[in-house]
Each structure stands twice: as structure tokens, then as C-alpha cells.
Amino acid sequence: MTEPDDRLDLLAPTQDGLSPALQDVLTADIIAALRTVHDPEIPVNIYDLGLIYRIEPKAAGLVEIDMTLTAPGCPVAGEMVSWVQKAVDEVDGVTKADVRLVFDPPWDKSRMSEEVRLELGLL
């Protein structure tokens, strides 16, 4: 199981009745799915690249996700959102992924995991 990290607000307060334990398990499974989606220009998955800003499991299998891009003019912006939607929709317990593209705050290299910065020679 994948452990959430402190680069994102994974479990915003919810009134949907999901237990914290269920939220944790579902969030870990969603993170694992997000790690299968890679940025086409940088050979790194979008979660460790820091493109996912928020994951919020809700009742009835709905999951809200806020994500960004490394640059607002990314030529595959629409495609990347659909890749994320498809990956998360395949997670057990998820009935619908609502993926929202946001640009505030703007993405920067500090959002990458330490492992990715090391892999890309940025440390």
C-alpha cells in the first residue's frame, strides 16, 4: 500500500460519511493508479512529479481530484485529464473520478518527490 505524503491535501474534511480508514485505503489505491500515468515529456509518473494537488474520496464512489500541468500550454492537457480519469475510474470502490485542471498555485520543481528530483539530476 502506498503512503500519502505531505505534498498534497489528500483528505480534506468530508461530511460524506466515509470512515478515515476507508479514505486511507481508497486514497492509497488511487495514488497507485495515478503512478501509472506518465507525463509524455518527462519520463516520470504524474503523482511523483507533483501534478496532483488534491484527492478527495466522497460517498458513493465519487473521487474529486485537482491536478495541474508542468506548463499551462501543455499540448496534451485534455488527454492527460482523460488518462487520469481512466486510471482512477479503474480503482475498486471508485464509480466516478471528477478531475479538475487547476493552475493555482502554479507547478514548480519543489512539488516533485525527492526521488524524482534525484532521478532527474536536480539534487
pLDDT higher at 112 or 73 = 112
The lowest-confidence range among 6-20, 21-35, 75-89 is 6-20
Q: Which amino acid is at 9?
A: D
Spatial CA neighbour of 34 closest among 61, 67, 57, 6? 67
Confidence of residue 13 (pLDDT cuts 50, 70, 90): very low
What distance in Å separates the CA atoms of residue 113 and residue 51, rounded to the nearest whole number?
11
Bridge partners, 101 (sequence order) = 67
H helix or E strand, kind and range, residue 56:
strand 52-57
Q: Residue 59 is placed in which grid cell?
A: 460517498
Closest by alpha carbon to 36, among 83, 3, 94, 89? 83
Domain 20-119: CATH architecture, name and number where available: 2-Layer Sandwich (3.30)
Assign 17 a pLDDT band (cuts: 50, 70, 90). Answer: low
pTM: 0.82
Cell of 119: 532521478
As a whole number, the mean pLDDT across the chain is: 86
pLDDT of residue 8: 53
pLDDT category at 50 given cuts 50, 70, 90 is very high
Per-residue pLDDT at 4: 52
